[in-house]
Amino acid sequence: MKKRIGILTSGGDCPGLNATIRGVAKACYEMLGQDNVEIVGISNGYYGLIHNICREMKPEDFSGILTRGGTILGTKRQPFKMMTVIGEDNIDKVKNMKKTYKDQKLDCLLTLGGNGTHKTSKLLSDEGLNVIGLPKTIDNDIYGTDVTFGFHSAVDIATDAIDRLHSTANSHSRILLCEIMGNKAGWLTLYSGISGGADIILIPEIPYDIDKVCQSVIKRTESGKNFSIIAVAEGCFDTAEAKLKKKERAKLRMEAGITTATNRIAAQIQQKTGLEARVCVPGHMLRGGIPSAYDRLLATQFGEYAAQLIRDEKYGMTVAKVDGNITANNLEDIAGKTKFVEPGCQLVTTAKNIGISFGG
Does residue 341 belong to any structural domain of this protein?
no
Tell me what pLDDT residue 245 has.
Answer: 85
Q: 132 and 213 share a domain?
A: no
Please name every residue paired with 338 in a beta bridge, in sequence order, or none if there are none: 142
Does residue 167 belong to any structural domain of this protein?
yes
Q: Whole-number mean pLDDT of the chain?
A: 94
Averaged pLDDT, 29-57: 96
Q: Which of 255, 287, 319 is at the close of a domain?
A: 287
Tell me what pLDDT residue 155 has.
Answer: 98
Q: 16 and 85 share a domain?
A: yes
Q: 209 and 301 share a domain?
A: no
Provide the terminal-to-terminal Cα distance of the chain, rounded to the nearest Å: 58
Does residue 353 belong to any structural domain of this protein?
no
Does residue 140 belong to any structural domain of this protein?
yes
Tell me what pLDDT residue 360 has.
Answer: 86
Q: 251 and 165 share a domain?
A: yes
3-state secondary structure the chain: CCEEEEEEECCCCCCCHHHHHHHHHHHHHHHHCHHHEEEEEECCHHHHHHCCCEEEECHHHHCCCCCCCCCCCCCCCCCHHHCCCCCCCCCCHHHHHHHHHHHCCCCEEEEEECHHHHHHHHHHHHCCCCEEEEEECCCCCECCCCCCECHHHHHHHHHHHHHHHHHHHHHHCCEEEEEECCCCCCHHHHHHHHHCCCCEEECCCCCECHHHHHHHHHHHHHCCCCCEEEEEECCCCECCHHHCCHHHHHHHHHHHCCCCHHHHHHHHHHHHHCCCEEEECCHHHHHCCCCCHHHHHHHHHHHHHHHHHHHCCCCCEEEEEECCEEEEEEHHHHCCCECCCCCCCHHHHHHHHCCCECCC
Averaged pLDDT, 129-158: 97
Tell me what pLDDT residue 242 has.
Answer: 86
Tell me what pLDDT residue 227 has.
Answer: 94
Q: 36 and 76 share a domain?
A: yes
Number of domains in the chain: 2
- What CA–CA distance (Å, rounded) separates 93 from 86? 7
Q: Is 49 exposed, middle or buried (0-12, 13-18, 19+ CB in 10 A)?
A: buried
Q: 306 and 321 share a domain?
A: yes
Q: 269 and 227 share a domain?
A: yes
Share of the chain above pLDDT 90, in %: 88
Catalytic residue among 13, 61, 103, 139: 139
Q: 301 and 252 share a domain?
A: no
Q: What residue type is 327 in one-letter code?
A: T
87 pLDDT tier (thresholds 50, 70, 90): confident
> Which strands, in side-by-side order, build the sheet including 317-322?
54-57, 37-42, 3-9, 108-113, 131-135, 317-322, 325-330
Q: 12 and 142 share a domain?
A: yes
CB atoms within 10 A of CB 287: 19
Tell me what pLDDT residue 136 has.
Answer: 96
Q: 63 and 173 share a domain?
A: no
CATH number at residue 181: 3.40.50.460
Does residue 220 belong to any structural domain of this protein?
yes
Tell me what pLDDT residue 258 has.
Answer: 67
Q: Which of 287, 319, 349 is at the close of a domain?
A: 287
**Which one, of 126, 146, 119, lies nearest residue 337 by Cα?**
119
Query: What are the phi and psi torsion angles at 312 (to 5°)?
Result: -90, 0
Does residue 45 belong to any structural domain of this protein?
yes
Q: 164 and 264 share a domain?
A: yes
Does residue 355 belong to any structural domain of this protein?
no
- Taking the whole predicted model, whether its pTM rises above 0.85 is answered as yes
Annotation marks residue 139 as catalytic: yes
Tell me what pLDDT residue 43 has.
Answer: 97
Q: State yes or no: pLDDT of 281 exceeds 90.
A: yes
> For residue range 210-266, what is the model confidence (pLDDT) as tens digits?
999 999 999 999 999 999 999 999 999 999 888 888 788 778 777 777 668 899 999
Contacts 24+ apart (CB under 8 A), 219-224: 221/273, 221/275
Does residue 340 belong to any structural domain of this protein?
no
Tell me what pLDDT residue 260 has.
Answer: 82
Q: 131 and 119 share a domain?
A: yes
Distances in Å between the Cα of 84 and the Cα atoms of 13, 49, 335 are 24, 14, 16
Range of the domain at 94: 3-150+291-334
310 pLDDT tier (thresholds 50, 70, 90): very high
Tell me what pLDDT residue 252 has.
Answer: 76
Share of the chain above pLDDT 70, in %: 99
Distances in Å between the Cα of 58 and the Cα atoms of 26, 62, 222 are 11, 8, 64
CATH number at residue 312: 3.40.50.450
> Which strands, in side-by-side order, build the sheet including 175-180?
200-202, 228-233, 175-180, 277-280
